[in-house]
Amino acid sequence: MDLPRVTSSSISRAIFISLLLIQQLTAPAQQPRKVIAIAPDTIPLLRGIQISADMVGLIQMAVSDYGQYEAALKVNLKDKYFPVVELGLGKCDATDPSTTLGYKTSAPYGRIGVDYNLMKNKHDIYRLYGGFRYAFSKFSYDVLSQGITDPVWREKVPFGATDVDGSYHWLEGVLSIDAKIWGPVRMGWSVRYKRRLFHKHGDIGEAWYVPGFGRGGNTRLGGTFNVSIEI
């Protein structure tokens, strides 16, 4: 006679425990949700304008046969996006004493692109940028020589060409960094990976130095050191 009562008691206990468990599972869903208020972005779109000059080109110009004068205008949008225009004048006047060959050019170039501030805190005084540039230069170059001697026919032959038209289009991937030094003055470096898109050159051969691109051929890497003023 005791057996049915024990069974009934066990069933009741199981149902009670199950209800408790269901309540535990459903309880959080029934609690009111916490609403996290997202602070509105109060940073204005236009945060400033940055004007900079490249020092590497100036040093190159002083210590080597080629270099460039380059300035850039960068617009600060929300400390996040930085559309940029870079304009410069590239010059080369090189002569090799062993071959007595000379190369001369002087022409403007331009780049346009955008940098993105990779820092987590966009408003820090340091900025780490990743970006790209599309660049173009149209120029003319001279290849100068005192002439070369034909080894078989034994006669001196003129060699060279002047006002050879050339053009270069290329892309640059840019990784750069800059920091606020004092007041509106900022300084920073950039390292650039360059990739030629298409080009034009004269019959005599490819341009040895391209304004803005640097040495032609296998040149892939470049860099700048910028001193800038942000207002």
Partner 1 sequence: MRKMFWLLAAMAILVAACSTIDCSLNSRVAATYKLAGDVKKLATPLTVTAYLGDGNDSVILNKLADADSFQLPMSYNHHEDTFYFKSDTTANAPTDTVVITKEDIPHFEAVDCNPIFFHEIKGVRHTRHFIDSIVVNNKHVTNGPSKSNFFLYLKSDIH
Which residues here bind partner 1, judged by CB under 8 A? 56, 60, 94-96, 98-99, 101-103, 126, 128, 143, 145, 148, 150-155, 157-161, 175-177, 179, 189-191, 203-206, 208, 215, 217-219, 221-225
Q: Which C-beta is closer to partner 1: that of 2 or that of 155?
A: 155
Shortest distance in whole angstroms from residue 167 CB to partner 1: 17
Q: For tokens 């170059």, what's the residue?
A: 141
Q: For tokens 């010059």, what's the residue?
A: 91
Tell which residue, 110, 127, 104, 32, has the closest CA to residue 71: 110
Query: Strand pairing partners for 136?
Result: 110, 169
User: In angstroms, rounded to a whole number, what is the distance separating the alpha carbons of residues 220 and 214?
Assistant: 9
User: 81 CB contacts (<8 Å, ≥6 apart)?
Assistant: 114, 115, 116, 117
Shortest distance in whole angstroms from residue 166 CB to partner 1: 12
Shortest distance in whole angstroms from residue 181 CB to partner 1: 12
Q: Which C-beta is closer to partner 1: that of 44 or that of 147?
A: 147
Token pair belonging to 51: 């004007």
Q: Which C-beta is closer to partner 1: that of 109 or that of 129?
A: 129
Shortest distance in whole angstroms from residue 143 CB to partner 1: 5
Beta strands in 118-184 (DSSP E): 126-144, 148-149, 156-157, 161-182
Q: Which C-beta is closer to partner 1: that of 76 or that of 190?
A: 190
Q: Which C-beta is closer to partner 1: that of 35 or that of 221?
A: 221
